[in-house]
Structure 1
Amino acid sequence: MDRDMTLEITGRSAADIAASVRALIERGVLLPGDPLPPVRGLADDLGVNRNTAVAAYRQLTTAGMVVTRGRGGTRVADRSPVAQEGFAADSVLRDVATGNPDPDLIPDPSRALAGMAGRPVLYGEPVIDPDLERWAAKWVGADLAPSDVRLTITSGAADAVDRLLAQALVRDDAVALEDPCFLTSIHTVRVGGYRPVPIPVDDEGMTVDGLRSALEQGVRAVVCTPRAQNPTGASLSDRRAADLREVLADHPYVLVIEDDHFSMLSRSPYRSLIGPAHRRWALVRSVSKFLGPDMCLAVTASDPETADRLAMRLTPGTTWVSHLLQRLALALVTDPDIVAGIEAAGAHYAERNEAFAARLTALGLPATAGDGLNLWVALPMPARDVSEQLMRRGWLVRAGDEFVLSDAPAARRLRLTVHDLADAEAERLAADIAAAVRAAGGRLAPPGME
């Protein structure tokens, strides 16, 4: 900002100072991202004790009006909506930005529903259905290094991450997120009032230097996708996972949350950040990618203390997950035909993404298919320029800017969901992307230079 905001902030008590700042925000004098005066300078100008200014800023932080960014100071919170996954409403364009699984590959639950009769579940019963718990213990148990594992059930992965952060953090605590990041994680951290600290992601997943830097900045939690990272498709390598565990070994009480969202569909092995001696951790596996987004259910494995705190937020009688839904999920994942169909679906997503990456590479846009539902396509220019050209050709895509946390230059990536395109559609989209790059002033790689 060009002007000195201390000239407009008034008050002698913490409540009055906070009310003054709130009024400036509500009147639009202070806009999202605008810096507030340093605490010491504000206290000196108002003639109050420094602790009074600190208390005023704390009230504003608790209310979600401002955020603290460490060395970046205190700034007005950004309340603009975060982009969401899913189909674009009312669009006449062909939407290849959805991030959705193929509906034709989601199992039909009709037969399982017909056989779900059973006794009713009453208040005070366990959060997790005993039969589902036995199956889930085998599903996650073989992949976890810690020996003392507790299980619970949440209404999907986003619900699990939200509750896990809420039971461990307070507003304005720092949370490490992958950069670029899953849209729902960005939304969860922003709504919770936490301070996101970006960790760069490369082809092997979350970077070691990025994690080390985040821990030095005092993060209280780390949210990581061990495989099929969204949007990049990256999966942790053995070496990277070991290096990250080594860094975390000196921070055993930092909450590590692994969102293994692609699990049963993944073409990559599960490799974990969670070491055998880590004290605060959770592994979240949702069923939404292979049983469908409407199956709002996730298995959460964690250390005992985290599990106890999470269970308190899911007490039967308040917000526990329906046991009918739990029984349905169990019936589906224990049906051999459906399990075979899930495996075939994972192979389908991988094959279609690889085929589309090959099409782009042949046209002079070198591309590699990672794991997951989407492709993360590199461009020779800002993605917004290419996405605008594609809209003129009838396509709706996602520019990489929506997934980026850091203040880096405009992203040169597109995230595409192409697995449900017929061959002719895929050929046309690839050709249109190449044409859009040229129309926006970009250059394609010469043949043989992929």
Structure 2
Amino acid sequence: MPISGTTAAEIAGSVRDLIASGELAPQDLLPPVRALAEELGVNRNTVASAYRQLVAAAEAVTRGRGGTAVAGVPQLASEGAWFGGRLTDLASGNPDPQLLPDALQALRGGGYQPALYGSPPVDERLAGWAVRQYAPDIGDSGFRVVVTHGAVDATERLLNAYLTRGDAVAVEDPCFLASIGTLRLNGFRTVAVAVDGQGMRPDALRAALESGVRAVVCTPRAHNPTGVSITGERAAELREVLAGHPQVQVIEDDHFWAVSRSSYHRITPPGLSRWALVRSASKFLGPDLRLALVACDQETASRLGTRLNTGATWVSGLLQHAAHVLLTDPDVIALTARARETYVRRGDRLLARLGEHGIRVPDGYRPDGLNVWVPLPSPARPVADALARRGWAVQPGGLFTSGPSEAQALRVTTSTLTDEQATQFTADLADVLNLPGRP
């Protein structure tokens, strides 16, 4: 069945019917605009408009001079995926299991009242605790707290509350894997904002805003993959840039807040109408505890809450109860403090060993989080492959690139790194890079 139609909507609908029937398969090329326009007897702009509609609906993808093709399901890299087998895991981005509390213990203490249909979507005790935690960082801005199924879920729901397919979103470059996947799956256009040792660069953010982005997703501290945190001075610069674009939605993904070595510095300027500060529980209570607290403006809270409540997709009351018990348990608070100190020590340990082999990182670099970003003098993939042959699983930096450039760096997860491993790994890396060891 050939493509038919005389309007852009009809042509796009015809192509979608062919995809649904299986006559057009993923990766199949659509006819060139000029050829299809001549075949259908319509203006080329009509066909071009139809193709744009298909791309916006994620039914097709553009390949520049390679034409327009039927889209398939994106193959997305995910956090936690690594080489496996006998390799030492310095790739997965996971926290140390020994530094996570016993979530089941929180359920044995009692006090849980089963939630029924129509129950409040947010546990009152958890919400009260969250408001008290957020207040020093946000101030008296009339914010509300919403609970979501983790930080990634929060970001996706927040973007979909205001944006449509084809809208542009500014994100860091390099960028968190899940953020890249979220944007691709939802059909948003990614605008890469370069990152330096203090976080998002103001000039790069200004350029992204002037290009017409409708939202900004930023990690204020423990940026994954680089580990950098936004300084107070940089936050002030970013607020000044964002203040000139009050229509833009700002999402701060403060995923590592409870175990960060760095202070939080807000980039959202006063008076911005659409904003959210997302804080996950996964990094210190456990990745399987899928829960994040979202502080946001009233309108955003209403939109987000409605999306969560429609279809009974609220966050489990049992999960919220467990989170509140853990967050207020003195033993868990002490464990979280120990985790913070341990992650700092292990990251700094790797930096010290890298320096002993002449493997330089930027001056003043103080990694925060579970990973260290190691710049390389050559492409990262061959280096990662060579390290795998020596028994080490690391991630090449290009995996985290949100822009057109390929990052020459490795992301090394240090959450469980021992002193012996740090010594051997850096020696192997220096050998792979043909760097002389230092006595």
Q: CA deviation at 1:420?
A: 0.9
Q: Is residue 2:138 matched to residue 1:153?
A: no
CA distance in 2, matches of 1:102, 1:157: 19
The answer to whether the Cα contact below 8 Å between 1:124 and 1:316 also exists between their aligned partners in 2 is no
Q: CA deviation at 1:214?
A: 1.0
2:425 corresponds to which residue? 429
CA distance in 1, matches of 2:115, 2:109: 17
CA distance in 2, matches of 1:206, 1:172: 23
State the secondary structure of the residue aligned to 2:250: strand
The answer to whether the Cα contact below 8 Å between 2:27 and 2:69 also exists between their aligned partners in 1 is no
Q: CA deviation at 1:395?
A: 1.3
Superposition CA RMSD, Å: 2.9
State the secondary structure of the residue aligned to 2:433: helix
**162, 171, 179: which one pairs with 1:177?**
171
1:379 corresponds to which residue? 376
1:143-193 per-position Cα deviation (integer Å, ceiling 9, x unaligned): 015611011100100110011111111111111111000000001111111
Q: Is residue 2:255 matched to residue 1:256?
A: no
Q: CA deviation at 1:318?
A: 1.1
Q: CA deviation at 1:30?
A: 2.7
Q: TM-score, normalised by structure 2?
A: 0.90
1:398 corresponds to which residue? 395
Alignment of 1:248-397 (within 5 A): 248-315=242-309, 318-367=312-361, 368-397=365-394
The answer to whether the Cα contact below 8 Å between 1:226 and 1:270 also exists between their aligned partners in 2 is yes
Q: CA deviation at 1:11?
A: 5.4
CA distance in 2, matches of 1:282, 1:234: 21
Alignment of 1:6-45 (within 5 A): 12-14=6-8, 15-16=10-11, 19=14, 26=25, 28-30=27-29
CA distance in 2, matches of 1:189, 1:28: 20
CA distance in 2, matches of 1:292, 1:396: 22
Q: CA deviation at 1:246?
A: 0.8
1:81 corresponds to which residue? 75
The answer to whether the Cα contact below 8 Å between 1:69 and 1:195 also exists between their aligned partners in 2 is no
Q: CA deviation at 1:317?
A: 5.8
State the secondary structure of the residue aligned to 2:309: coil
CA distance in 2, matches of 1:200, 1:333: 35
**172, 195, 201: which one pairs with 1:201?**
195
Q: CA deviation at 1:403?
A: 0.2
State the secondary structure of the residue aligned to 1:313: helix
State the secondary structure of the residue aligned to 2:264: coil
State the secondary structure of the residue aligned to 1:26: coil
Q: CA deviation at 1:77?
A: 5.2
The answer to whether the Cα contact below 8 Å between 1:67 and 1:193 also exists between their aligned partners in 2 is no
1:88-137 per-position Cα deviation (integer Å, ceiling 9, x unaligned): 37533222101000000001234322113333222222211111111000
CA distance in 2, matches of 1:131, 1:17: 50
CA distance in 1, matches of 2:71, 2:167: 14
2:158 corresponds to which residue? 164
Q: CA deviation at 1:213?
A: 1.0
**409, 412, 415: which one pairs with 1:413?**
409
Task: List runs of 5+ in structure 2 lacking aligned partners.
Answer: none
1:384-430 per-position Cα deviation (integer Å, ceiling 9, x unaligned): 1111111111111100000002111x321000112313222221111
1:58-106 per-position Cα deviation (integer Å, ceiling 9, x unaligned): 4312431235799x99776574412111143753322210100000000
Q: Is residue 2:129 matched to residue 1:130?
A: no
CA distance in 2, matches of 1:37, 1:445: 55
CA distance in 1, matches of 2:305, 2:12: 39
TM-aligned CA distance change 1:120 to 1:52, over 3 Å: same
CA distance in 1, matches of 2:62, 2:158: 22
Q: TM-score, normalised by structure 1?
A: 0.88
TM-aligned CA distance change 1:311 to 1:399, over 3 Å: same
CA distance in 1, matches of 2:48, 2:275: 32
CA distance in 2, matches of 1:251, 1:42: 41
Q: CA deviation at 1:433?
A: 1.0
Q: Is residue 2:96 matched to residue 1:97?
A: no
TM-aligned CA distance change 1:44 to 1:445, over 3 Å: farther
Count of residues in Structure 1 that have an aligned counterpart in Structure 2: 430
CA distance in 2, matches of 1:279, 1:73: 40
Question: Which deviates the most, 140-149 or 203-212?
Answer: 140-149
**% identical aligned pairs:** 50
State the secondary structure of the residue aligned to 2:318: helix
What is the identity, as a one-letter code, of the residue corresponding to 1:425?
Answer: Q
CA distance in 2, matches of 1:79, 1:317: 25
1:345-403 per-position Cα deviation (integer Å, ceiling 9, x unaligned): 01100111101111011011113441111010111111111111111111111000000
The answer to whether the Cα contact below 8 Å between 1:68 and 1:195 also exists between their aligned partners in 2 is no
TM-aligned CA distance change 1:214 to 1:270, over 3 Å: same
Q: CA deviation at 1:217?
A: 1.4
State the secondary structure of the residue aligned to 1:142: helix
CA distance in 2, matches of 1:50, 1:305: 42
CA distance in 2, matches of 1:276, 1:146: 11
Higher relative contact order (CA 8 A, sep 6+): 2
TM-aligned CA distance change 1:17 to 1:128, over 3 Å: closer
Q: CA deviation at 1:202?
A: 0.7
CA distance in 1, matches of 2:401, 2:410: 12
TM-aligned CA distance change 1:89 to 1:322, over 3 Å: farther
1:228 corresponds to which residue? 222
CA distance in 1, matches of 2:346, 2:41: 66
1:266-324 per-position Cα deviation (integer Å, ceiling 9, x unaligned): 01000111112111000000000000001100000000000000000111761001111
CA distance in 1, matches of 2:149, 2:85: 29
The answer to whether the Cα contact below 8 Å between 1:281 and 1:303 also exists between their aligned partners in 2 is yes
The answer to whether the Cα contact below 8 Å between 1:177 and 1:222 also exists between their aligned partners in 2 is yes
CA distance in 2, matches of 1:318, 1:222: 29
